[in-house]
Structure 1
Amino acid sequence: MLSNPGEEMDLLPLDHPRLKKNNFDLLRLLLALTVCLVHATELSGFEALRSVTGFLSSRIAVQAFFVVSGFLIVMSYERSSSLLSYTSKRIRRIYPAYFTVVLLSALGLALVSTQPLPEYFSLSWVKYLLANLTFLNFIQSTLPGVFEANRLPAVNGALWTLKVEVMFYVSVPLLVFCLRRAPRLPLLLLVYALSVGYATFLLGAAAQTGNAFYEQLARQLPGQLCFFVAGAGLFYYLPLFERRVKLFVTLAALVLLIDHWTPLPWLQPMALAVIVLFFGLFLYAGNFGKYGDFSYGVYILHFPLIQLLLNAGWSAEHPWLFLATAVSLTFFGAVLMWNLVEKRFLLRSSHYVSSVETSQKASPVKQPARI
């Protein structure tokens, strides 16, 4: 699957050594745990945990997730033998666990609802189930009588990113189709610039009008597309990135440092992509994939589990025990989700299946990363 003949860097880096030994599994788990820690702090409102949000950012973690997706999903499409193969891999990877979490929440939370069962299983319940199963979480984010006493009544406020992620999946075939027929770099830069411009305009409108709705729109597509495209661009130009990695990382670190005090919205997404993919592709930390991929489970399970702990009346007297309990329960649930649901739907060619087989054979070579 080659792009424009004669264009510089035309040969895709599908067999690049760094795609066989990388840190993406570990990186995504750390990003998911970051979101879990921040949400536990924000949902609880425990003052003693305020320091967590001082050095961790769920916003940056989500943006980093989109960068990694841009790199790996475009690579997955370029590796796929057909559109059907690509679609099958994406559905197998994301939907079984997602369906399980939504269904468990809809059914299991009847036990903690303040409403009688006839009122609980009402039209609102059906609306929640249908909206969330189709990634339209914003239509109905609550269940009758559930978490009404919590600071936020939403059942699973982290699921909004899955809608964006699915839209990325849908857009990849069109994006790659265009990249194969137009000059690659100018097109990537154009999409990147349009995405940043869209988000910048809406954030400016939110600041001027005080209307938070504009800020919410900026978090959706195409506002988040710049992070995805930045990751995709570094996939296509991976050999160049590797040759100039010190320069790229130095400039990216400088941009992010300045952005901390003076926002640089046109440069921040690319700078973040460089740093994220540097840690994903360099400084190899071992074959973490042999244990499985718990990051997705952590991400889609942590919010309702935190809400359940708070609903049980956890007080602010033991904030750090609350945080440790929330993280432990989430990780345990993610391990169960992986072993009982997620890996059962993967193809034998999946990175995680092959990683386990490779580990059992005591081979040091890791198979190409896929998600």
Structure 2
Amino acid sequence: MDLLSLDHPRLKQNNFDLLRLLLAMTVCLVHAYELSGFEQLRGLAGMLSAQVAVQAFFVVSGFLIVMSYERSSSLTSYAGKRVRRIYPAYGAVILLCAISFVVVSRQPIQDYFSLVWLKYVVANLMFLNFWQPNLPGVFETNKLAAVNGALWTLKIEVMFYLAVPLFVYCFRKFPRLPLLILIYCLSVAYAELMTFAAVQTGVNFYERLGRQLPGQLSYFMAGAFLFYYLPFFERHVRYFVIAAVAVSLIHFQFALPLLQPFALAILVLFFGLFLYAGNFGKYGDFSYGVYILHFPVIQLLLNSGWFTGRPWYFLFSAASTTLIGSIFMWNVVEKRFLLRNSHYVGAVEPTEAKVPVKEPARL
């Protein structure tokens, strides 16, 4: 895509705000079942997939973050936008959990604020969530003791942010299409190698490695591909979508690892760029808050013991509390760190005023 194409109307009027919220709520609902173990909620895991939702997030990131870098006047400008968008709310959630969860800890207060507590704060503020996922005495009776097990994707997202300047430099220096295809294929090969190693050895560690970088890079690159070739995608969108639906249906029965990331990207970006549903961004961007808040909210509700034998009350409470918290997080923390020219600052209907191109969002 050349710079003139950055003014493409679909980049100004799209469904990305709504799409990200739906993906975040999908992850929330699936985790509500997985963490609670309520048999009545099993159908959620059958109808929805947190894994696919996360992959779709990476597709959207590939499209929007590459666009953000291409639109940025400098590396400093790009980095500033990324930090403003992801870190204030992230840091607020880490510190809020670390300080307030003393009230639900089974440890005395003097043992709670310990070296383990400090390790949790430092590790999680640095996106090293795997280093210390638990707080002293917190959620020990829950199915899983981790405070916020959804944050592993934020580490990958940050690594995407760091890698984009290098990727774009290479795309400008060398033929873009062969590089996109090469990186995509190498990512798929790595993920498949880790899956094979996990099956052969029975060690789940290899499967976890496959979910990290570069295993998720194929989804990001698929999103970047459709950004750079958006005019071509738009001209042939009908054929792209038909092929993507066919691949997705076959993938349910016979794994097509080489084609599935690109097929998912086509379907995700078709919804994001076509069938415009209105300027949802005028209400705010609550998806990030939903994503980083839902896990500790669910853990707190389960820890309370109030919902034993009442799965649907639990599900409603988890979803509504998370959504309310995300609205609060958006208005009190996230929005205050946005630049004045952000799409979300004073967002209006496109018919009332010229809407700036949306800044990319994070998970």
Q: TM-score range by the shorter chain?
A: over 0.9
CA–CA distance in 1 between the matches of 2:3 and 2:128? Answer: 38
CA–CA distance in 2 between the matches of 1:36 and 1:367? Answer: 30
| Among candidates 54, 75, 79, match of residue 83 of structure 1 | 75
Specify the code of the residue in structure 2 equivalent to 1:321.
Y
Deviations 1:199-254 (A, max 9, x none): 01001111111110001000100000100010001000000000000000000010
Q: What residue number does 1:226 align with?
A: 218
CA contact (8 A) 1:12 1:236 kept: no
CA–CA distance in 1 between the matches of 2:272 and 2:290? Answer: 19
Instruction: Report the alpha carbon displacement of residue 366 of structure 1 after superposing the two structures with TM.
Output: 3.6
Matches within 5 A, 1:50-199: 50-199=42-191
CA contact (8 A) 1:297 1:337 kept: yes
Specify the code of the residue in structure 1 equivalent to 2:140.
E
Deviations 1:4-33 (A, max 9, x none): xxxxx5556201010011000000000000
Q: Bigger shift: 53-62 or 308-317? A: 308-317
Q: What residue number does 2:311 align with?
A: 319
Q: Confirm or deny that 1:332 pairs with 2:321.
A: no
CA–CA distance in 2 between the matches of 1:40 and 1:268? Answer: 27
CA contact (8 A) 2:342 2:356 kept: no
Deviations 1:178-217 (A, max 9, x none): 0001111000000000100000100111111111000100
CA–CA distance in 2 between the matches of 1:364 and 1:306? Answer: 40
| Among candidates 248, 270, 273, match of residue 281 of structure 1 | 273
Q: Which runs of 5+ in 1 are unaligned?
A: 1-8
What percentage of residue pairs aligned between the two structures are identical?
68
CA contact (8 A) 1:287 1:366 kept: no
Q: Quote the RMSD (CA, aligned, Å).
A: 1.2
Equivalences, count: 360
CA–CA distance in 2 between the matches of 1:364 and 1:284? Answer: 17
Specify the code of the residue in structure 2 equivalent to 1:165.
E
Q: Which runs of 5+ in 2 are unaligned?
A: none
Deviations 1:144-200 (A, max 9, x none): 000000000000000000000000000000000000011110000000001000001
Deviations 1:283-324 (A, max 9, x none): 000000000000000000000000000000134421111101
Q: What residue number does 2:339 align with?
A: 347
CA contact (8 A) 2:307 2:313 kept: no
CA contact (8 A) 1:70 1:227 kept: yes
CA contact (8 A) 1:35 1:299 kept: yes
Q: What residue number does 2:21 align with?
A: 29
State the TM-score, normalizing by the size of structure 1.
Answer: 0.95
Instruction: Report the alpha carbon displacement of residue 364 of structure 1 after superposing the two structures with TM.
Output: 6.3
CA–CA distance in 2 between the matches of 1:11 and 1:189? Answer: 22
Matches within 5 A, 1:34-49: 34-49=26-41
Q: What residue number does 1:246 align with?
A: 238
CA contact (8 A) 1:103 1:129 kept: yes
Instruction: Report the alpha carbon displacement of residue 365 of structure 1 after superposing the two structures with TM.
Output: 4.9
CA–CA distance in 2 between the matches of 1:12 and 1:191? Answer: 26
CA–CA distance in 1 between the matches of 2:6 and 2:75? Answer: 18
Specify the code of the residue in structure 1 equivalent to 2:246.
L
